[in-house]
Amino acid sequence: MTRHVPTYDLYGERAGNAPDFWLHCETIPSRSSLHRYEIGLHRHESFFQILYISAGSGDALFGPERATLTPPAIVTVPPAVNHGFRFSRDVDGHVFTMLASHLRLAGEMGRFVAKPHVTPLDAGDPDGAFVIATLERLAAEWTARRSGRTDLMEAYLASVLMLTARFSGRDDAPEGAAARRMEHLNGLIHQHFRAQRPAGFYAEKLGISPTHLNRIVKVATGLSAHAYIGRKMIDEAKRELVFTDMPAQEIGLRLGFADPAYFSRYFLRETGETPRAWRLRERVRLATQSSE
């Protein structure tokens, strides 16, 4: 039996024949909290929606498909698409519901908004920071109801959608957002590995949650974020063991290991050899290669 999917202008409210708004804004908790933070599958025949997730977590449902929501992120939902949400109780952000006929859609942006998307926002990227600030300004402008706000809100929406479409294009390419974050992560690890910072420290620096960082690293390397940070530290230890004459004890101290014995045990656990044994074997291997 086919499940009936209700149609609303605003979730839980009966759709009218003639909507009396072209744009509506509300916080995510204001409506989702009335429904125990679960928005069942529904659709909007004439409305396009943008959800800005600034805190908390959740899932977006597009028919049978599910996407994880990790802030900061933007969700775009075109008209006539069955969708729903499950939010954590600490969720925050805004929902913008607008008449699709009011949007000027063409080219890249038109293709982008024709399908639902969940797009991560990188607060450390200038364009990502601009989108976040613009969404906040859009919500404030809608609430304030000052003169000239329609033109401003239209400009804000056009900027947000065009930049989000651009982000989506980046993410489809090898040099997408995940690749940029991995590059940024590698730079941060190189800068801070001597302090032996945990994965949560790097997630905060990147402006994402530890869960999101773990997911990005897992996809890119097959390792958890914690294991990847440890691997980078071992790589640095190997480099210094091969290319310097420093004792292993001193290398361990440089890498933040106050106890030389613990550094030796850690290295043995990660590589299967003690620092001294690995150094001797690797130098023999390199010497053999250079003489061939």
How many whole angstroms from its chain centre is CA 211?
Answer: 10
**Residues forming beta bridges with residue 75, ordered by sequence position:** 51, 118
What phi and psi, each to the nearest 5 degrees, are found at residue 26?
Answer: -155, 160
Helix (H, G, I), strand (E, B) or coil at 285: helix
Residue 198 pLDDT exceeds 70: yes
What pLDDT does 14 receive? 62
Tell whether the torsion through CA atoms of 237, 242, 243 and 244 is positive or negative: positive
* pLDDT computed for residue 25 by the predictor: 94
d(CA 18, CA 99): 11
Dump pLDDT digits (tens) for 226-272. Answer: 999 999 899 889 988 988 889 999 999 988 888 989 999 999 999 99
pTM score of the predicted model: 0.57
**3-state SS assignment for residue 91:** coil
Amino acid at position 32, single letter: S
> Two tokens at 52?
């800005």
pLDDT of 175 reads 45
CA 50 to chain centre: 17
DSSP label of 36? T
**Which residue is it, tokens 């000239």?**
148
On the question of pLDDT at 2 being above 60, the answer is: no
Structure token digits, residue 234: 């071992």
Q: Looking at the predicted structure, is the pLDDT value of residue 173 above 90?
A: no
Check if the beta carbon of residue 127 is closer than 8 Å to that of residue 167.
Answer: yes
Is a pLDDT exceeding 50 seen at residue 174? no
The Cα 270–Cα 183 span in angstroms is 23
Torsion of CA 147, 149, 155, 157, to 10 degrees: 180
Going by pLDDT thresholds of 50, 70 and 90, the confidence category of residue 170 is low
Q: State the DSSP H helix or E strand holding residue 51, giving kind and residue range, or none if neither.
A: strand 47-55
223-to-200, 226, 230, 231 alpha-carbon distances in Å? 15, 8, 10, 9
Mean pLDDT for the stretch of residues 156-173: 79
